[in-house]
Amino acid sequence: MFLSVFEMFKVGIGPSSSHTMGPMVAAGKFLEKMRAAPFGFHGVKGTLHGSLAFTGVGHATDRATILGLAGFLPDTYDHDAAEKVLEEIRETHTVKPEGLGTLQFDPKNDLSFDFGPNLPGHANGMILMATDKQGDVILQETYYSIGGGFVMTEAELAAGRNTDEGEPVPYPFKSAVEMLEMAETSGKTIAQMKKANEISRGGSENLRSGVRRIWQVMNDCIERGLTTEGELPGGLYVKRRAKGIADALDAERGTNLNAPHKINDWMSAYAMAVNEENAAGGQVVTAPTNGAAGVVPAVIKYWLEHVPGASEAHVEDFLLTAAAIGGLVKYNASISGAEAGCQAEVGSAAAMGAAGLAAVLGGTPQQIENAAEIALEHHLGMTCDPVKGLVQVPCIERNGLGAIKAVSAASLALRGDGTHLVPLDACIETMRQTGADMSEKYKETSLGGLAVNVPNC
C-alpha cells in the first residue's frame, strides 16, 4: 500500500476538502471523460446527494461544482478569475471548459440538491451528466468524494480500488505492525522508509521541492490568519479570533506574568488562524482534510517557534512521518467526517501531528506509533455536527484543541519506551467501527448535535 505525501497533503481551497475540493475534482474528471467520449455535447448538469446536499451550501459545494465544470481545479485555483467566470455563467447560463466548446448550464436549474437517501457507495455522492441538443443524457458518471479531496467513481469504489497503481515501493506497509517490523528489519526510521517510497515513485527533487511547497503554503496560511481581522462569511457572524489572541500573547512577552499553560494559546492561535482562512475560502493544505487543516501546521509552527533546537531542515521528516500515519488511517478506516465523524478528521490529524512531532524530537518508531495511538484514541467518538453546515463552529476551535492533544500525546509517548497496551492498528479499527455505528445525524449532515441546538442565525 502506498499513499504519497502529496496525496495526504494537497494544496487546495476552503472550506472543505470533501465538500469543496472533492466536487471540483470530480467535475474535472467528468470533463476529461467528456473529452475522451466520441459524442458531441450540448449541455451539462448534476445532482448532489447525501452530505453534499445537506451541508452543500455551507461548504460551497454548488460553487465548487460549477467552477469545476468550467475547468477550475483546486491546486491552481485563482479566486479573481473564478469570480469573473461565475458572473459570466450566471449571465449566459453556459460554461466553456477547454476543449469542449460552449455548453449549456444554468446553475439554478441544472445543479440540484437531492435530500433523499444517500447514494449507496458513500455519504458524499454526486451524479454528473452531459446532454445532447434534445436534452437527453448521453454520458453520466457517479462520483464519491471520500474525504481529503480524494474522489472515486462508482465503479472504482465498488471494485475496492485504492490509489496505489504504480510500481512496487521498497517499504509497502499497510498496517502499523508491518511498519514497525520493516523499521526494525531495515534499521530505518519511519520517515526514511516513507522517503524511500516517495523517491522510488517521483524522484528526490520532486519530493524536496514538493514538501518545501507544502510547508510554505501551510506557513503562509498561518501568517495570513494571524494578521487578518473581520467576520467570517456564511451568516453565523463568527469573528476571526486568531489575530487578537496572537496580539495579546505578543504583548505579554517578557513579563513575569506568563503562566506555562499559555503555550496552549499559541498552539490554538496557529491552528485557528489556518481554519479561519479555510472558513473564508482561502488557500490551505489538506492535513488530511480541510476541516482538520490547522492541526499539523500548528504543531509544526509550535515546534519551530517554541522548541529549542528545532529546524526547518527537519520539516520533511515531520511531514513524511505524519503522511505515513495518515495513510494507515485512510487505508484501514476513513478520514471523512461524512463517513465516520470528526474523529476521522481532527482525530486523524492529531495522530499525524503527534507522530510527526515525536519523530523530529528523536522518538523511536515504537514511540512514534505510540504517540499516534494516544492522539487518535482520545478523539474516538467525536461527532461532526457543524452549525449551519459551515466549517466554523465547532471546527475552528476544535483544531486548536487537536493540536494541543497532538503535542501532549507526543510528549507522553516520549516519556515511555514505546511499549503500550493499545496498538495503533486496534485504535484505527475501533475508529472505523465507531464511525460505522455512529448515527447519520452526527456525520456532517447538520441534523444533530450542536447543529440543531445552537441558533443558526
- Tens digit of pLDDT per residue, the chain (457 long)? 899 999 999 999 999 999 999 999 999 999 999 999 999 999 999 999 999 999 999 899 999 999 999 999 999 999 899 999 999 999 999 999 999 999 999 999 999 999 999 999 999 999 999 999 999 999 999 999 999 999 999 999 988 755 556 789 999 999 999 999 999 999 999 999 999 999 999 999 999 999 999 999 999 999 999 999 999 999 999 999 999 999 999 999 888 778 899 999 999 999 999 999 999 999 999 999 999 999 999 999 999 999 999 999 999 999 999 999 999 999 999 999 999 999 999 999 999 999 999 999 999 999 999 999 999 999 999 999 999 999 999 999 999 999 999 999 999 999 999 999 999 999 999 999 999 999 999 999 999 999 999 987 5
* All structural domains of the chain: 17-158 (3.30.1330.90), 176-453 (1.10.4100)
CA distance 231 to 88: 28
Task: Please enumerate, as own/partner, the contacts of 51-54 that have beta carbons within 8 Å and a separation of 24 or more.
Answer: 51/18, 51/19, 51/118, 51/123, 51/124, 51/338, 51/443, 51/444, 51/445, 52/19, 52/23, 52/124, 52/125, 52/126, 52/145, 53/113, 53/114, 53/115, 54/115, 54/389, 54/444, 54/445, 54/446, 54/447
**Which three cell numbers mark 140?**
453520466
Phi, psi of 47 (to 5 degrees): -130, 140
